[in-house]
Amino acid sequence: MCRFQRVVKMMDISDLKIQIKIKTQFLTPNVIYGAHLVFKFCDPRKFSSNLKYVNLKYKMGGEILHAYFATCGDDVWMMIELCRFIPHKKVIDFEVLLESLSRYYCGTGEIYVEGIHFQPINNTTLEPEVYEKLKGVQEVLKSNLDYGQQVPVDYYEINRLDDDEKLLSVSKANEKNCHMLPANMVLYESSDVKCFNWKSLAEPESRFLEVAELISHQVFQIRCKIEIQNLSPDTDYACHLVFKLSQKCHGLHCPVRVRDVLNRKKKEFKFLYFRSPRLVNLHGNEKVPKLREDELMEVIMWEFNSGNKDHVPMSLKLRCYEGTMSGLIVYGIEFRPM
């Protein structure tokens, strides 16, 4: 149900041209707020989850930005977070130019725009001393996550198994087994479609002998049978994709959808990023990349329990919402206790 007597109907979602001026004089000082665009599609729609990929493109502070997901409430109205800010005692004014929604994912129908909703982030109020430190920050909060946060070393000695490609180690934290598989043992490539360029590594200290660089495809698959004898029994594990981006890679900013192919009953998807996203593009269930000590990157793709079987099958399909995976270099996958 709409909270206002009138709303705006936009006929072309690919050319919105909506100029928004935001004033914060009625907000509580020293509280972190999110500014959300509230809208709905004119034609009735049903969504399988509370997140809908819409890829809103907009300008703010001279910068072109993207908000990828809209959250669906109990009613038909949806919200897209545009920015976060801290109102102080004086009024903050800033402008946002809404440019377009994705016609590929949203269709060609019209939308109703209700307005802007200001919502506290976890109802957090800043302490006075913290407020003083942030008092000079009147612009939107910087929202790139820290790529420099490294994954700490958590291994005893790393051993190669009999085939000289699989790696086995033991976690210092909990004495549980860790296991690593190279790209050539987990990446699936059909005989009629070439997805990867394979490259040998000359570095003698590298744990990986060969890597795969993806070419212009939107999808790739990972398939393997996880040998439980190389893991600790009845333990919760996370499967990390170990990767880096080539210097010529300028894409992969958008989220990547991960589907567990073997779990057909569960239709929900998981999401990950290969580049650190803005905070407004995080909704609680996405996995973000972290820097490893070996200067590679890693991101969690899948979680499972090792149980007490001989092996656990894994089949994942990763699909990029926009563009291709070109420039993504896959080194392998690593299973570590959670």
DSSP characters for 179-225? Answer: EEEEGGGTEE--SS---EEEEE---TT-S-SEEEEE-S-SEEEEEEE
Give the C-alpha separation, 248 to 245, whole Å.
8
Torsion sign (Cα): 316, 322, 324, 329: negative
Express each pLDDT in 267-313 by its tens digit.
Answer: 678 899 999 999 889 888 789 999 988 889 999 999 999 887 888 89
Cross-strand bridge partners of residue 318: 220, 258
Cross-strand bridge partners of residue 224: 314
Give the C-alpha separation, 299 to 290, whole Å.
6
pLDDT given for residue 151 in this prediction:
59
Question: Where is 310: in which H helix or E strand?
Answer: none
Q: Judging by beta carbons within 10 Å of its beta carbon (0-12, 13-18, 19+), is residue 64 exposed, middle or buried?
A: exposed
pLDDT given for residue 219 in this prediction:
92
pLDDT given for residue 206 in this prediction:
60
pLDDT given for residue 130 in this prediction:
46
3-state secondary structure 273-284: CCCCCCHHHCCC
Cross-strand bridge partners of residue 120: 33
Give the C-alpha separation, 312 to 305, whole Å.
9
Count the alpha carbons within 13 Å of 36 in the hemisphere toward its beta carbon: 20
Q: Judging by beta carbons within 10 Å of its beta carbon (0-12, 13-18, 19+), is residue 104 exposed, middle or buried?
A: exposed
Q: Judging by beta carbons within 10 Å of its beta carbon (0-12, 13-18, 19+), is residue 287 exposed, middle or buried?
A: buried
pLDDT given for residue 174 in this prediction:
65
Residues lower than pLDDT 50 in the chain: 126, 128-148
**SS3 label, residue 295:** coil
**SS3 label, residue 287:** strand
Express each pLDDT in 8-49 by its tens digit.
Answer: 899 999 999 999 887 777 888 878 889 999 999 998 777 777
pLDDT given for residue 89 in this prediction:
59
CA 277 to chain centre: 7
CA 113 to chain centre: 27
